[in-house]
Amino acid sequence: MSEPSKLQVHAVEHPVPHPATKGIKADIISGFLVFLIALPLCLGIAMASGFPPVGGLVTAIIGGVVATHLGSARLTIKGPAAGLIVIALGAVTELGQGDTAAGYRKALAVGVVAGVVQVILALSKAGVLGDLMPRSVVHGMLAAIGVIILSKQTHTLLGVSPHAKEPLELIAEIPGSVRDANMVVAAIGVLALAILFGMPALKNRLTKRIPAPMAVLSLAIPIALLLDFRHAHAVGLAGHSYSVGPKALVQLPANLLNAITFPDFSEITSGTSIKYIVMFALVGSIESLLSVSAVDSLDPAKRASDSNKDLLAVGIGNVIAAALGGLPMISEIVRSKANIDSGAQSRWSNFFHGLFLLAFVAFLPGVLGQIPLAALAAMLIYTGSRLASPAEFKHAYEIGKDQLALFIVTCAVTLATDLLVGVGAGIVLKIVMHIARGVPLGQLFKNKIETTRDGETLHVHVRGAAVFTNLLGLRRALSAIPGDVAVVQVDFSDARVVDHSTLERIRSIADEWPHAKLQVVGLDKHKKGSTHKTSVHTLAVEPVQS
């Protein structure tokens, strides 16, 4: 076997002791800090999804108070996510046919059934779905979602109601909305954007302790009160008069019980409903599973989560949330990272985040009704800009031109059609790329893995092709290593193609090993797609036949 180069050695360090306060106190503190971030985001995501704003809070409360006890991964925060906005809004729009209220109730029915599908997937041990999705396809999908969020929320921030409905048409209409902007409303939105983009750049202890979304609300709400947004009237600014009123504020019911809305199953067997059931279940499950994997890698204790149990918790949580009027939920990555950064120790931090949200909605609902929609639009624009950041395109290109092509095709097709078609186009393109590299059809879905032991070293020899469609066999071999193994050496010398998904995934699996280290060997005869360590590798000569 070839000796591993320095770049091919992936060592897993011993867990670093968590510096934060230990025990339940740390979970209460982290739960409170995440609550401050989640409160405005849940309202904004619901608003952008065509749901009543309180629907986002219902989901986060269920995700915290209920899903925590159903097998939720330790440090993940459950709640609505920007990545499902496009699906939720599409379901409301298509099922409602012009009647938003009817579309909302029919979309809730779709959410209930999609949750049941997720439960079935979890019980069928389909938690490995996240491993099979090419990362560039997922990132291309998220970039498209980011563009769609930007195309819609820019008009809301400017205080203008657009005529267009489709993303590309909405983008084309932005110059007109800038020209016709309500400058009073837009001033609040622009101030919010300045805070959201500016605070992370400030390097002082105070700004690090105050979540930027909460800083936005602490300024936007007083401005709305000062200008009396609760009553319709005109406000003069720079020699012009602009209309403001309750329509520029979040609309909420008087209490949480009034927010409960039950699903309408009258069209649940229609083609449109089935399409959105598939989209909610597939995209929601993949996003959630990828988030769990990412959060596990951030956990200071390097504890591995049971992806099937977490998917089960998400599925049951979705059934309950949709039955009560809430948005779809996932294990959300941004809030989960904030949870870890705040010192969370266990899944109780998710519970307390939900409990704080419940207490706020129950005892201070009047405060929520003072939030300007432009401030929430700014938060969504900030989220969308991160999803569709030029840095994402640059990162895909650095991995390889093939990954950039997957990224762009998925993004473009999603914008032109819908998420399901976009993701499907990306997957088909990647399969075509592997066939063009010489991978036989039979090897796309099955390869040969030989495992031998030499003292404390476990040798894993991969023959055929190591690509995303046959990754499960290698994953099983690497996830079941004996506890006394010190080195796991994966040999790709006889693998015709080793793709980015495989190289990335085996490194994340190695992060879960408490003591062993990973060595990747046998790639010296392969042609690399780029200088990136996880770029696609194609064998320059025919592999040895066994």
128-176 residue pLDDT tens: 777 788 989 999 999 999 999 999 999 999 999 999 988 999 999 999 9
The rounded distance, in Å, linking the Cα atoms of 151 and 170 is 5
User: Which among 338, 380, 298 has a CA at the least distance from the CA of 81?
Assistant: 380
pLDDT of residue 16 exceeding 70: no
Residue 98: phi and psi, rounded to 5, are: 100, -15
Q: What is the mean pLDDT of residues 112-130?
A: 92
Residue 138 near residue 290 (C-beta atoms within 8 A): yes
3-state secondary structure 285-301: HHHHHHHHHHHHHHCCC
Same domain assignment for residues 373 and 446:
no
Same domain assignment for residues 69 and 188:
yes
Same domain assignment for residues 345 and 469:
no
Residue 392 lies in a domain: no
Residue 493: phi and psi, rounded to 5, are: -65, -25
Q: Which two tokens stand for residue 407?
A: 């990224």
- Residue 56 confidence (pLDDT): 95
- Supply the angle between the helices 54-61 and 348-363 in degrees, to the nearest 10: 140
Same domain assignment for residues 227 and 376:
yes
Residue 19 lies in a domain: no
Residue 427 lies in a domain: no
Same domain assignment for residues 365 and 454:
no
Among 383, 403, 425, give the residue marking a domain's end: 383
Residue 54 lies in a domain: yes
The rounded distance, in Å, linking the Cα atoms of 7 and 520 is 9
Q: Which residue would you say has higher pLDDT here, 479 or 263?
A: 263
- Residue 205 confidence (pLDDT): 76
Burial of 12 (0-12, 13-18, 19+ CB in 10 A): middle
Same domain assignment for residues 376 and 480:
no
Residue 229 lies in a domain: yes
Q: Which two tokens stand for residue 182?
A: 């309500």
DSSP state of 545: P
Digit-coded pLDDT (tens) for 495-505? 999 999 999 99
Digit-coded pLDDT (tens) for 365-374? 889 999 999 9
- Residue 14 confidence (pLDDT): 37
Digit-coded pLDDT (tens) for 240-271? 999 999 999 998 887 778 889 999 999 999 99
- Residue 22 confidence (pLDDT): 61
Same domain assignment for residues 291 and 367:
yes
Among 346, 362, 383, give the residue marking a domain's end: 383
How many domains is the chain partitioned into structurally?
Answer: 2
Beta strands in 44-189 (DSSP E): 77-79
Q: What is the mean pLDDT of residues 416-435?
A: 93
Same domain assignment for residues 448 and 379:
no
Residue 203 lies in a domain: yes
Residue 12 lies in a domain: no
Same domain assignment for residues 532 and 456:
yes
- Residue 3 confidence (pLDDT): 37
Q: What is the mean pLDDT of residues 460-473?
A: 94
Q: What is the mean pLDDT of residues 113-123?
A: 97
- Residue 137 confidence (pLDDT): 93
Total-model pTM: 0.86
User: Which among 222, 221, 219, 248 has a CA at the least distance from the CA of 234?
Assistant: 248
- Residue 8 confidence (pLDDT): 38
- Residue 541 confidence (pLDDT): 65
pLDDT class for 18, splitting at 50, 70, 90? Answer: very low
Instruction: Identify the CATH number of the domain in which residue 480 sits.
Output: 3.30.750.24
Mean residue pLDDT across the chain: 90
What percentage of residues in the chain have a pLDDT greater than 70? 95
Same domain assignment for residues 172 and 64:
yes
pLDDT of residue 15 exceeding 50: no
Same domain assignment for residues 207 and 344:
yes
- Residue 4 confidence (pLDDT): 37
Residue 5 lies in a domain: no
Domain that holds residue 456: 441-539
pLDDT class for 90, splitting at 50, 70, 90? Answer: very high
Which residues, at least 6 apart from 366, have a Cβ–Cβ distance to it below 8 Å?
none
Same domain assignment for residues 464 and 339:
no
Please name every residue paired with 236 in a beta bridge, in sequence order, or none if there are none.
241
Digit-coded pLDDT (tens) for 287-328? 898 888 778 877 787 777 888 999 999 999 999 999 999 999
Give the residue ranges of DSSP H helices in 299-400.
Answer: 307-323, 333-341, 348-363, 365-368, 373-387, 390-399
Among 383, 401, 426, give the residue marking a domain's end: 383
- Residue 21 confidence (pLDDT): 43
Which residues, at least 6 apart from 120, have a Cβ–Cβ distance to it below 8 Å?
315
Digit-coded pLDDT (tens) for 178-218? 999 999 999 999 999 999 999 988 877 777 778 899 999 99
